[in-house]
Amino acid sequence: MSESAGLLDDLLAGKHRALARVITKIENRDPGYRELVSGLYEHTGNAEVIGITGSPGAGKSTLVDKLAEHYREQGETVGVVAIDPSSPYTGGAVLGDRIRMASNVGDMDVFFRSMSARGNLGGLSTATADAVKAMDAFGKDKVIIETVGAGQNEIDIVGAADTVTVLVPPGAGDNVQMLKAGILEIADIFVVNKADMDGADRTVQELTEMVHLGQGSTTVDAGHHGFDEVEMDLDMPTDTDPWKPPIVETVATDGEGVVDLVETFTEHRTFLEASGELTRRRRQRVAEEIRTLLRDDAAGLVEDELDDQGGVGTFVDGVMAGDTDPYTIADDVMGPIRDCIEEQ
Amino acid sequence: MSTDQSQRSIRCLVAKVGLDGHDRGAHVIARAFRDAGFEVIYSGLHKAPDEIVQAAVQEDVNVLGISILSGAHNTLVPKIVEGLKEYDAFDDTLILVGGVIPDDDKAELKELGVAEVFGPGTPMEETVEYVRENAPER
C-alpha cells in the first residue's frame, strides 16, 4: 500500500523514474497494480491520445519521432508507447522502435516506452491502455500509441486511442483491397507515408475511392442524393456531418507533411468534441474496461474454485476414463459460484 | 506462465555508445537475450551517454549492457553511471560492459558500479545465466 502510494505521489510530482516504474508494474501485473491504476484514474482525461498503426516497415516509428519533435517545438510534452511483437516460443522480444527516435534524444519531456506485446494478438499489449493512463496522469499533453506492425485485424487500437491513424505504404494497391474488411475500417485518418516513392499517387487515389465508397454506404438512408453530391471535399465537418477519413501524404524521413498531419489531428479532435463522438468513444472504452476487469476477476474465481475441487487434472482424468464430459464438469464447477450469486 | 497472475519479464537495454561502429556483438547478444525470453531494447549505433541514460530510465530496464570496442570506456561509462544516479536509476539497474576492455580497466569499471565485464569469447550461456541470476527485481 505505502509503496504504491509513494510511487503514485512521485509520478504525479513529475518524477520520470516513478512513471517508468509504474508502467513496469502495470506491465508485470504486479500485486498492487490495480490499486495504482485506480489511483491514476482521477488524474486522467487531459491528454490527447493518438494511435498509429500500419503494416511493418510502413514508417510508423519514424513518423512518431517527427510528430514528437513537432509537438515539442510547440512546447507540448509527449508520451509514446511503442509495441513490438514478442516471440511465441520464448516470450522474448527485440524492441526496436526506439532506434527511430533520433530527433528527440536527450529530451526527457518525450517519454518513450517500448512494450512487448507479451503474446497479445490485437496489436497492443494488455497493459497498453493502462500505460497510456499513467502518461496522461503524469501530465503529458499528447500520448502517441504505436502498434505492432499490423496486418489485417489488429484493431485493438480503436479501444485505446481517440484518433486512429492508419499508415499505408505506397504500392499497397493489392493490399488495400485485401485489407478492406479489417484495418482500413478503423481509420480516422489515412497517411500515405513514403509519398515520394513510385505508386504513392495510385495508393492515394485508391484510398480516396475507398473512402468515398464507404461514405456512400453509410448514407444509404439519404438515397435520393447522388454520389457526386456526397463528394464535397474541403468542408470542415460540422456536428451533423459524419467524419470522412482524410488522406494525408507524408515523407516521414524528412518530416514532409507532418504539419499537415498535425492539423488533421486537430480537425479530427474538433470533430470529436463537437459531435459528441469523443464522449461516446470514452464511454465505450470505460464500459469495455469494466467488462475486461470483471472477466479477469470472474476467471480468477473460477480458477480458484477449480483448484478447490481438485484441479483440472482430475477432471481430465474423469473425461479420459469416459466417466463424465467437459460440459457436466463445467456445470459442476460453476455450481457453487452460481448458487452464491443467485442467493443475493 | 499464462496462469500466473504476475508476468515478470527481464528487460535489457543493449547499448552502443560513442564513436564505435561495430555492432555485430551487440546484435548477437540482443538475439541471444531475446531467445532467452528477455525483452531487449537495442539502442542503435553511436549513442551519447545522455541518450543511454534516457533510454534506461524511461524503459525501466533491469539490465543495461553497454558494448564498447573503441577504448573509450573510461570516459563513457562514468558519464552513464552519473546520469543514472541523477534519475535514481543506478541502484536497481544491473550494469554490464561487453567488448574489448583491458584487465587494468576492469577493476576500475567495477569500482564505478559496473557489475561484470564480459570480454571477447565469453560463452553466450554464461552471460545469459549471469543476467538471470543477478537481474534486480522490479
Cell 509519398 belongs to A195
Q: How many CB atoms lie within 10 A of CB B123?
A: 9
CB contact under 8 A, B9 and A21: no
Q: Which helix (H) or strand (E) holds A189?
A: strand A189-192
Nearest CA in chain A to B85: A17
A176-194 burial, b if ≥16 CB within 10 A, otherwise e?
beebeeebbebbbbbbbbb
Task: Give domain limits for chain A.
Answer: 1-42, 44-275, 293-343
pLDDT (tens, 9 = 90+) of chain B, 138 residues, equals 333 446 678 999 999 998 888 888 899 999 999 999 999 999 988 899 999 999 999 999 999 999 998 889 999 999 999 999 999 999 999 999 999 999 999 999 999 999 999 998 899 999 999 999 999 988
Nearest to B18 by CA among B81, B62, B68, B93: B68
pLDDT of residue A94: 85
Give the pLDDT confidence of A325-339 residue by residue, as tens digits. Answer: 999 999 888 888 888
Contact list, B58 vs chain A (CB under 8 Å): 16, 20, 111-113
CB contacts < 8 A, A to B, total: 104
What percent helix, strand, coil does chain B show, rounded to 5? 40, 20, 40
Measured CA to CA, the distance from residue A197 to residue A193 in angstroms comes to 9
Evaluate the CA torsion angle A163, A231, A216, A178 in order and state its sign.
negative
Task: Give domain limits for chain B.
Answer: 11-132
Supply the mean pLDDT for chain A. 84
Where does A44-275 sit in CATH, by number?
3.40.50.300
For B93, the grid coordinates are: 539497474
pLDDT of residue A167: 92
Measured CA to CA, the distance from residue B112 to residue A292 in angstroms comes to 47
Residue A223 has pLDDT above 80, yes or no: no
Domain B11-132: which topology?
Rossmann fold (3.40.50)
Q: Identify the three-state secondary structure at position A324.
A: coil
Measured CA to CA, the distance from residue B108 to residue A166 in angstroms comes to 50
Across chain A, how many H-helices and E-strands are there? 13, 8
Measured CA to CA, the distance from residue A247 to residue A37 in angstroms comes to 36
**With contact defined as beta carbons under 8 Å apart, do B109 and B98 qualify?**
no
Amino acid at A139: G
pLDDT of residue A188: 94
